[in-house]
Amino acid sequence: MSTHPSLPPVLRPVAPPQRSLTDLAARFGTATRGEIDGVTLTGITLATADLRAGEVFVAIRGVNQHGAMFSATAAEKGAVAIVTDQDGAEIAQDSGLPIVIVDNPRGVLGALSAWVYGTGADDDLPLLFGTTGTNGKTSVTHLLEGILRQIGVVTGLSSTAERHIAGDVVISRLTTPEASETHALLALMRERDVEAVAVEVSAQALSRRRVDGIVFDVAGFTNLSHDHLDDYADMTEYFDAKLPLFRPDRSRRAVISLDSTFGADVVTASEVPVVTVGTPAIAADPEAAADADWVVTIDDEHQRGTRFTMAGPAGRTLTTVVPVIGPHMAANAALAIVMMLEGGYTWERITAALTRDGRIEAYLPGRTEL
């Protein structure tokens, strides 16, 4: 992969779609101020620091102030309109920009961004894999991309550490970017002929609506533990924050690890078809893990990796090496492989590549350096 430090911190498609502000108002607005006829927009953003000429500035009420306070700055930077709530419209009225009023700017941002960039569930998009869980979601995301590349797929990735677009690497700013950035990123990936995208999805991203407007082809669940309770009152609230990913408006099918006690609860709560994976050697309930659709056995651990065997339906077995130490990494790798199977990649294609190379060829930032 090549690294391009000149790439901007927030990415856009090179040839963005041209959308009519009149159409935007008709689809999403409850009222307008100023002249909206004849105005064309080419993008959308929440941040004036990131705004480009021709885009719409979405002004959302924050904890301490309303985003509409920055409307004059948005106008100076070339915004063509403001989308905001009724309070924001009062604040932004002197900006000189036309205003589209919506009831809930944060709530509509995902759908609005999907419409602007043509990246909604019914649009022509790359195959989308989304992984959530307390631990392992970054690793699964990078393992997914690594194996996809091994079988010859042009890939995209969005994780805590990095964004990847067809071989280019950009440092990440958030675990999961804002909905407007995510949809712009998907539009750019489509432009670059990316076939499949691996996305890390945090509970915060679901709670804060950063993946609104996206339907993942396959959602994955690693585990749930007490590590990330800063934003949630208790484990019940944290668990509930993860569940929307496993509903038909956000995913088409799911692969669930049974290694933590919450895995079975996610299976029960899931509203999409589910396949399970278990690693009895590390599972909180080894018997439950052993009853999974796919069972992972740890064969050997050494400095340069962990050898494991996964066995599943129709007598399928695969023995390979994940290039990281620890049985939990074997569990992550197996989860990634089953997610690929559920996404439509064939068992023969996956196993042929891993057999050819003798191991999984993946780079996990901060996890594979000796």
What are the structural domains, with CATH classification, of the chain? 19-117 (3.40.1390.10), 127-357 (3.40.1190.10)
Q: Give the pLDDT confidence of 286-330 residue by residue, as tens digits.
A: 999 999 999 999 999 998 899 999 999 999 999 999 999 999 999
CB 92 within 8 A of CB 75: no
Beta bridge partners of 282: none
pLDDT at 176: 59
pLDDT at 2: 38
pLDDT at 175: 52
pLDDT at 90: 97
pLDDT at 4: 39
Task: Kindly report whether the global pTM for this prediction surpasses the value 0.85.
Answer: yes
Give the DSSP per-residue string, 239-262.
Answer: HHHHGGGGSTTTBS-EEEE-SSTH
Residue 45 to residues 181, 333, 338, Cα–Cα distance (Å): 7, 35, 35
pLDDT at 275: 98
d(CA 149, CA 166): 10
pLDDT at 8: 45
Nearest to 354 by CA among 315, 325, 316, 328: 316
d(CA 336, CA 323): 14
Task: Write out the chain's pLDDT in tens, 370 residues.
Answer: 434 344 445 789 999 999 999 999 999 999 999 999 999 999 999 999 889 999 999 999 999 999 999 999 999 999 999 999 999 999 999 999 999 999 999 999 999 999 999 999 888 999 999 999 989 999 999 999 999 999 999 999 998 778 899 999 887 665 557 899 999 999 999 999 999 999 999 888 888 889 999 999 999 999 987 665 567 767 888 888 889 999 999 999 999 999 999 999 999 999 999 999 999 999 999 999 999 999 999 999 998 899 999 999 999 999 999 999 999 999 999 999 999 999 999 999 999 999 999 999 998 876 555 5
pLDDT at 5: 40
Nearest to 95 by CA among 136, 66, 129, 125: 66
pLDDT at 6: 42
pLDDT at 240: 85
Alpha helices for the chain (secondary structure H): 21-28, 71-76, 86-92, 105-117, 137-150, 179-191, 203-207, 235-242, 262-269, 286-290, 327-342, 347-357
pLDDT at 174: 54
